[in-house]
Amino acid sequence: MLPLILFIVLVVVVVVLYEIRERQRAKAPEEPKTSARPDGCCGEHLVCERETLLQTNAEIEYYDDEELDAFAGIAPEDFTPAQHDAIAQVFYTLQESDVPGWCRSLQLRNIALPPDIREEALLIVRERRSHT
């Protein structure tokens, strides 16, 4: 009986320590990444952080996608198939020139992209940056 009680206490301690560590990690600010490009952009984000910081008064621009506001704060892995399809429908109807602005709009609205759409958007943004 005593070994079972000790095991349960050990499990509870591990879970509590894990939760404390996760909360501290969530509160800790991210370390800035070093720039790999001469223009100061690391190229790892849909919208350049440098541009975003310069646009501190940026207003949200909608791309006929107001219904996506319901997805604010949802992690990409938690999207239902219907939510994924709603985001995909907007993305695939955008003109390529609108993709960077749309991504900026989503960031301002705290809407994450599903990984597959995020990768496609990154490709478009990188192509547009390399041509400018």
Separation between Cα atoms, residue 5 and residue 130, nearest integer Å: 62
Whole-model pTM: value is 0.58
pLDDT in tens, 41-59: 555 555 554 444 334 557 8
Between the alpha carbon of residue 27 and those of residues 23, 33, 65, 86, 87, the distances in Å are 6, 18, 31, 31, 29
pLDDT per position as a tens digit, 74-88: 999 999 999 999 999
